Amino acid sequence: MHRKTAVNLSLATLLGLAATLLAVAYTLPQVRKLVRSGTAAGVSVAALANSTVSGTAWTAYGVVEHEVWVILPALLTLPGTAGAMAIAWRRGGDRDRMWLPVAWASALTALTALVPLLGSRPIVVALGCSITLMVVPAAATAWRSPDVSAIAASAWAMLIVDAALTGGYGLLADIDANLIYALVAASGSVLILTRLAVPPHVHARLVRLPGGIDPDVTRDDLSLVA
């Protein structure tokens, strides 16, 4: 029994460490792509803002629960998500649904204040679903944008792996919020990667584009013409 517990703790530590390293890594490609491309085409500022709010909340949750492998992944992703948000804002990223980060922060604050009355279950479920506030706006923006050249595919691919590691740690450490996060993060990432794989002419048939936009012309092409 003791040996099994030791093995589980050791595996949980390895998963937590791997998830921490990957969490830091998957925030970097989006920042790098925004810096290099000079555009924020197809990038949702609201999604990045939601992610920044969620990262702050996850860090606080980890501190309260004394879970170092919850604290570190959340805390170390904050510079990347906040940086990407600032760059996307300056470079004309999609600013629809900017009320969401405000509403999300208010909801988390309210649920935290109500823990003495409602218990911790509501805030745990909210944190587990927090990734929804990142992937849903990001996916919606990507699927309705004719130009997705500023979206870093590698970031979303790494998020799938991060979801698997986070979910594995949640399973071993019995953290329900991690399991919910893993399911939502993986599903949303697959949806966005699918959009990136769709050729422009196929996307134009699936989603009606504004008049005058050629689905086969990217922002870079238009810049060259200008």
| Residue 191 included in any domain | yes
Percent of the chain whose predicted confidence (pLDDT) is above 90: 27
Say what the pLDDT of residue 18 is.
83
| Residue 4 included in any domain | no
Structural domain boundaries enclosing 112:
9-208
| Residue 222 included in any domain | no
| Residue 31 included in any domain | yes
**Is pLDDT above 90 for 155?**
no
Rounded Cα distance between 55 and 76, Å, is 9
| pLDDT one-digit tens code per residue, 49-61 | 999 999 999 899 8
Say what the pLDDT of residue 210 is.
53
| pLDDT one-digit tens code per residue, 89-131 | 999 889 988 999 999 999 999 999 998 888 888 888 888 888 8
Tally of domains in the chain = 1
Rounded to 10 degrees, the C-alpha dihedral 176/178/180/183 comes to -140
State mean pLDDT over 168-179.
Answer: 84
| Residue 54 included in any domain | yes
Least confident of 9-18, 73-82, 93-102, 132-141: 9-18
Cα distances (Å, whole numbers) of residue 68 to 20, 120, 162, 200: 10, 19, 16, 44
Q: Would you say the pTM of this structure is higher than 0.85?
A: no
Say what the pLDDT of residue 41 is.
84
Contacts made by residues 209-214, CB under 8 angstroms, sequence distance 24+: 209/146, 213/146
